Amino acid sequence: MTSKTNHLWGGRFNEPTDEFVKIFGASVTFDKVLAFYDIQGSEAHATMLSEIGVLTKDELKQILDGLASIKDEISKGQFEWSIDLEDVHMNIEARLTEICGLPGKKLHTGRSRNDQVATDMRLYLRDQVQTINNEILRLLNALLDLAEGEKSTIMPGFTHLQAAQPVSFGHHLLAYFEMFKRDYERLEDSYKRINTMPLGAAALAGTSYPIKRERTAELLGFDRICANSIDAVSDRDFTIEFCANASLIMMHLSRFSEELILWSSAQFNFVTLPDSFCTGSSIMPQKKNPDVPELVRGKTGRVNGNLIALLTLMKGQPLAYNKDNQEDKEPLFDTVETLQACLRVFADMVPTIKANTETMRSSTLKGYTTATDLADYLVKKGMPFRDAHDVVGNAVAYAITQSTDLSELSLEELQSFDSTIEADIFDFISLEGSLNARNHLGGTAPEQVSLAIKAARNLLKGASS
């Protein structure tokens, strides 16, 4: 029996699909990314079908051999994708039937493209999450190495982008370590929700064949099985959750980018990025532009956009599957590719960042970054903090008129603001004194930065083993 239109679903149709509707509805141009996952799913499904007696051993063998040659054709770029066959699933199934005939037509028994596509997406995403987490690990290690070398490098810490207090550059870098560590943990946690199997839900209600979902899940390495067939085919939470996690990572990369862009400007000159990560200007010969962080900052926009696209895609859909869901692919694939590229380029670039130690130091001497230390000193001598705040305010006002830092005032000048000030004051209001004083868990003293790096390295050992 042949159908007049599409031989995979055209039985009840009398007219062929409109030519443009075919193009409009096809997803194969982008969902072919799922091809190997689709084949993996089909192998497991067919194996389970043969184990429950729906396919003979011989039929299974023909199906598996056929799928193996399709894999080969795809790897070699010889597979002919056809828009007429709409999507990756029907392209592969049609080719299988071409290769092995009848058994190919039996593969779809007890399955629907609805549970098939949801399964493919999860198989795809769990692989991508692992690749992404490996890139995060590389970035985390690079941050630790850089922080190790810069733990005693002093830079101004900022609030409101105004110089606030001296901090160790290593400590500042470890703040990013914390962000990306949380990102890693979030992706790890999401893995268990991604690694849940929809297969067996069929179109939405399950199937009348005595399928063994546990067996298919075992063959595919799924930890869990979607508990409700309707939810199984309509749930795209896992893609949204991934895109939300991706947006957080991009937001962190973007903040880091923003700092690198500022810091590498002639005005800050805190860091130098190597030529290999920068570009020049076609008109201004002096320019060296930080393209990599700028692009990463820019790409954050599209990753955020993809998240909103998916949330909006899902918000109005009645249960269960709707064709709308075909629109979940491009935002997800784009997010995966963009995120992987941004993490990769950052993990490559971080080890090349050169701190301009002297500029950072002289910049820290501007802006009265140890004023709090002078106040704390007076408090330790018995003055209430509010009064100390006032005294130091006066001292800062005076230092401004002299164009000097507090630590550059003479002992006599300092004593004119409070007579309890003694010669040891310079141990407190020098940059090193200020830094070393913050010697507690999570503080910026180089000793603490060392301890934090050690703890972080131990943590990473656990993550990669």
Q: What is the signed CA dihedral for 371, 373, 379, 380, rounded to 10 degrees?
A: -160
Given the complex with ligand ARG, which of 27 and 448 has the nearer CB atom? 27
Using the rule CB under 6 A, give the single segment among 127-135, 136-144, 193-201, 319-327 that binds ligand ARG: 319-327
Is 281 a residue of the active site? yes
Which among 160, 282, 419, 440 is annotated as catalytic? 160
Number of residues that bind ligand ARG (CB under 6 A): 10
> For residues 117 and 125, what is the distance between their CA atoms, to the nearest angstrom?
12
* Touching ligand ARG, residues 244-283 (CB under 6 A): none
Using the rule CB under 6 A, give the single segment among 222-230, 274-282, 317-325, 373-381 that binds ligand ARG: 317-325
Which among 3, 75, 82, 281 is annotated as catalytic? 281
Given the complex with ligand ARG, which of 55 and 117 has the nearer CB atom? 117
Given the complex with ligand ARG, which of 178 and 237 has the nearer CB atom? 237
Among 42, 114, 444, 448, binds ligand ARG (CB under 6 A): 114
Residues 10-29, mask of contacts with ligand ARG (x by CB under 6 A): -----------------x--
Is 160 a residue of the active site? yes
The answer to whether 24 touches 62, Cβ cutoff 8 Å, is no
CA distances from 327 to 93, 236, 322, 332 (A): 22, 11, 10, 9
Q: Residue 328 Cβ, how far from ligand ARG at the closest point, in Å?
A: 7
The answer to whether 163 touches 156, Cβ cutoff 8 Å, is yes
> For residues 290 and 278, what is the distance between their CA atoms, to the nearest angstrom?
5
Given the complex with ligand ARG, which of 35 and 142 has the nearer CB atom? 35
Given the complex with ligand ARG, which of 118 and 445 has the nearer CB atom? 118
Among 113, 172, 181, 297, binds ligand ARG (CB under 6 A): 113
Using the rule CB under 6 A, give the single segment among 109-117, 287-295, 364-372, 382-390 that binds ligand ARG: 109-117
325 near ligand ARG (CB under 6 A):
yes
Given the complex with ligand ARG, which of 222 and 321 has the nearer CB atom? 321
Using the rule CB under 6 A, give the single segment among 68-76, 157-165, 318-326, 411-419 that binds ligand ARG: 318-326
C-beta atoms surrounding 142 within 10 Å: 20
* Touching ligand ARG, residues 403-442 (CB under 6 A): none
First-to-final CA distance of the chain = 57
* Touching ligand ARG, residues 31-70 (CB under 6 A): 31
Among 87, 150, 235, 405, binds ligand ARG (CB under 6 A): 87
Given the complex with ligand ARG, which of 31 and 43 has the nearer CB atom? 31
Q: Residue 102 Cβ, how far from ligand ARG at the closest point, in Å?
A: 24
Tokens 């508990």 sit on residue: 227
Using the rule CB under 6 A, give the single segment among 132-140, 299-307, 310-318, 320-328 that binds ligand ARG: 320-328
Given the complex with ligand ARG, which of 95 and 252 has the nearer CB atom? 95
> For residues 152 and 174, what is the distance between their CA atoms, to the nearest angstrom?
13
Given the complex with ligand ARG, which of 119 and 128 has the nearer CB atom? 119
> For residues 38 and 207, what is the distance between their CA atoms, to the nearest angstrom?
20
Catalytic center residues: 160, 281
- Under the rule (CB under 6 A), what is the footprint of ligand ARG? 27, 31, 87, 113-114, 117, 321, 323, 325-326
